[in-house]
Structure 1
């Protein structure tokens, strides 16, 4: 009798273990699409904005100092009409003196030197006027925009509809790059300080 009870108990334990294993499993699903199209982005002047040397005494002590507007043209050339976006990456993340814009690096005293604002103008999709659009939710929704910032996708919609990206073969878009220096009273400027803004525009196929 005791032997029989022992076997039955073991059977129940094994059955319970089987249920526990089933409830503790999960699936990994890998998806994606290989696209035959390829797009190449580029910026005029090699993407370089040179503000030259600025005297510390010419900086505003209590407000941001704007160092002028510098035009660059973005072009994207694709093998065929393709839906895409550009993902701006701030290579100096965390150094912008005004949050939301691209960083300009730090002084030797670890102070935020300023920030870079990039306005977007005159988008042309295959030679036709288009709307610059942006998405803050990885492409789920889109709206018209006049600037580009890190982590917010940038693309183009038709001139009459900014709710979704359109397929484009050749895109041109004007950037207006503005460099701002933080109030001089907040900075240690006893030695030369290099402006060190840097951003990468990464292709993202939609």
Structure 2
């Protein structure tokens, strides 16, 4: 069974005067199961502040930077679980070179990472003229995960698989998938054996990249929606 969180990304506004760069993440939970309850920090809002529309590049994609959220999962008892996700705006994904000639939303993790492969990119919706606005990606910060098994702290790594049944493998980066095509689970430190947890805090980084030539005389609002699912193993 799956328990789902709905993430809504909204409200990048570009106008002739200013741009209100806010990525909002909201959620609601289905009643698929009662074993584990998920929640997001800061009401799911990743705020990129306000900028002048003239600061958006006319010739290249503009990186909006990275903001952090925390996914917390609390279970009634210790449970082995995995995380996956999907994009409900996949048809609006647009990716291109930024001013540094790199492609895709940028993260600073592990010396720098740009996400350019479609299976890990989420769409930001379209303008009134039906122009795709750009794309974003969601990275799990595996080095800062905090987990409990009952009342005991447990040291965990993450591992990934194309199936919720495994086999599980360690990866260089843990980017949420756009089509529930990949799963991530918590594993015992130094192994690829799933670790049951009673609660876990999972830091997430959200990075967005906005296309050029979107027009600056009208309001442009992000309209992204991702769905994170908790899968019981």
- More displaced, 119-128 or 78-87? 119-128
Q: Which residue of 2 aligns with 1:118?
A: 138
1:109 alignment partner, one of 129, 132, 139: 129
CA deviation after TM superposition for structure 1 residue 60, in Å? 2.1
Question: Structure 2, unaligned stretches of length 5 or more?
Answer: 1-32, 96-117
Q: Which residue of 1 aligns with 2:210?
A: 181
Question: Structure 1, unaligned stretches of length 5 or more?
Answer: 1-35
Q: Which residue of 1 aligns with 2:161?
A: 135
Q: Which has the higher contact order (CA 8 A, sep 6+)?
A: 2
CA deviation after TM superposition for structure 1 residue 38, in Å? 0.1
SS at match of 1:41: strand
Alignment map for 1:155-170 (pairs within 5 Å):
155-161=185-191, 163-170=192-199
Q: Tell me, yes or no, if the aligned pair for 2:84 and 2:177 is still in contact at 8 Å.
A: no
Q: Matched residues in 1 for 2:216 and 2:166: separation?
A: 44
CA deviation after TM superposition for structure 1 residue 87, in Å? 2.3
Equivalent residues, number: 168
Q: Matched residues in 1 for 2:61 and 2:169: separation?
A: 29
Deviations 1:149-183 (A, max 9, x none): 2222232112212x34221111111111112112x
SS at match of 1:71: strand
CA deviation after TM superposition for structure 1 residue 53, in Å? 4.0
- More displaced, 107-116 or 141-150? 141-150
- Between Structure 1 and Structure 2, which shows a larger proportion of helix residues? 1
Alignment map for 1:11-26 (pairs within 5 Å):
none
- Between Structure 1 and Structure 2, which shows a larger proportion of strand residues? 2
Q: Matched residues in 2 for 1:192 and 1:129: separation?
A: 46
Greater Cα radius of gyration, structure 1 or 2: 1
Pair 91,46 (structure 1): closer, same or farther in 2 beyond 3 Å: farther
1:60 alignment partner, one of 54, 57, 81: 57
Alignment map for 1:84-95 (pairs within 5 Å):
84-95=81-92
